[in-house]
Amino acid sequence: MTLADSQPQALQFECETGNYHTFCPISCVAWLYQKIEDSFFLVIGTKTCGYFLQNAMGVMIFAEPRYAMAELEEGDISAQLNDYEELRRLCEQVKRDRNPSVIVFIGTCTTEIIKMDLEGLAPKLEAEIGIPIVVARANGLDYAFTQGEDTVLAAMAQRCPTKAPTGEAEKEERNAIQKLMNFGRKQEEIKQQDSEYVDHPPLVMFGSVPDPIVTQLTLELKKQGIKVSGWLPAKRYTDLPVIEEGYYVSGVNPFLSRTATTLMRRRKTKLIGSPFPIGPDGTRAWIEKICSVFNIEPKGLEEREAKIWESVEDYLQLVRGKSVFFMGDNLLEISLARFLIRCGMTCPEIGIPYMDKRYQAAELDFLVQTCNEMGVPVPKIIEKPDNYNQLQRIHAIKPDLVITGMAHANPLEARGISTKWSVEFTFAQIHGFSNTRDILELVTRPLRRNSALQNMGWEKLVEEAKI
């Protein structure tokens, strides 16, 4: 008798109150300034913050990024200087040099400790320089570095317009854009496009993902007759989606609980609680949940998922029957573990810096369902894991793969354990049906590499190195 035939399993949660071994959340600047093309990010902190950004971002010398450091000196910290005057000078310089549509103030640990009132300064500066200023406290007091994006999006959610353009000039501009988009298309094609959607309340997606992912997920929902009214963040700040009371919202990343809360409490929207579209199983469950909310019968999802699994069978053969251990870093752990268990792996433990059981409720239920269907034990979920204790458990369990932060990868490799940096999943395209192969490429790379090294032998490696 397998576990799937026996009594359904339940999740086990533990908390070890260890340190957070993750990047600083100000690293969200790295992907947000690229996503929001007309933005400028001003990180207000000490030289340490500047060193971190300079080293962690890997900025190319040929491309000047749209972010900068406002470094706090002793005079700032001891309140001998006027914060408002200094920030105004910097904002005027940014406007003169870049003229962005929005400036985002990123608060750091130092601005928290010295109680710098960025929220109080921003409205006065905004009125004076004529550029919107969004304040986000993306500091190291958060649990995981991905929560920096959560903080920025929560702040931007409050800036989303509440009504579509009503003025004559705005209507004319919107109609001109629509005519430009429909240029060269027949009237029948335009009508057919509009008829492809069913009648449902407006739906807005939130989560910063690359433009190809936005296109893929939007088209997947379009196949079911669901129209996406907008994305938060948009490609440009000036294109932020209209969000009104009663709109439906859906998140595509597991670390956006603060944004979800802001959208529900401040903007009075309705959150669609679903698993996240990571892996073909998660993408199918995500679409099915949205369809069920709008009373739509999903079409062709089973065949689509089966086709994706069939296309990655070569990778599944490499991971099937192997074990994976998550040390905890970026809050993607639950979704990735669920996907890898569906691929045929086992997972004894999921370490996670922080667990919002409400926002990830559907994903947690899906994890248990997946384990029961695959006939494997449900992983133990450890919040705020103590790394020393985790390393002892890894030594005892000897998993085939450990997904960990960069700090522990080399020591584990030296002890003969294959590792994968968890930060790579943050920057890779892992959402939707089409990117399943990319996730498995990341997961199997260390397994394939170490297997190749063992097969080649050290003597042959030394000979090749001499050549």
pLDDT tens figures, 264-306: 999 999 999 999 999 999 999 999 999 999 999 999 999 999 9
Element (H, E) at 203: strand 203-206
Residues 108 and 80 in one domain: yes
Cα within 13 Å of Cα(354), Cβ side: 19
* Euclidean distance between CA atoms 57 and 347, whole angstroms: 31
Domain CATH for 434:
3.40.50.1980
If asked whether residues 452 and 315 sit together in one domain, one would say yes
Full domain range(s) for residue 294? 197-302
Give the closest residue to 109 by CA, choosing from 28, 40, 25: 25
Would the pTM of this model clear 0.95, i.e. be above it? Answer: no
**Cβ atoms of residues 439 and 279 within 8 Å:** yes
Work out the angle at residue 169's Cα, subtended by the Cα atoms of residues 163 and 174, and round it to the nearest 5 degrees.
Answer: 65
More confident residue, 190 or 93: 93
Chain mean position to CA 426 = 6
Q: How confident is the model at residue 61 (pLDDT cuts 50, 70, 90)?
A: very low
Q: What percent of the chain has pLDDT over 90?
A: 65
Write out the DSSP string of 284-299.
HHHHHHHHHHTT----
- Is 152 part of any domain? no
Number of other CB atoms surrounding residue 332 within 10 Å: 23
Q: How many domains does the chain have?
A: 3
- Given a cut of 90, whether residue 130 has pLDDT beyond it is yes
Neighbouring C-alpha atoms within 13 Å toward the C-beta of 240: 20
Tell me, yes or no, whether 435 and 375 share the same domain. yes
Q: Reduced to 3 states, what is the DSSP secondary structure of residue 346?
A: strand
22: three-class secondary structure by DSSP: coil
- Domain edge (last residue) among 234, 268, 302: 302
Q: Which of 257, 279, 302 is the last residue of a domain?
A: 302
Calpha distance 65→62 (Å, rounded): 10
pLDDT digits (tens, 9 = 90+) for 253-268: 999 999 999 999 999 9
Domain for residue 68, yes or no? Answer: yes
- The answer to the question of residue 174 being in a domain is no
Could you tell me the pLDDT band of residue 213, with boundaries at 50, 70 and 90? Answer: very high
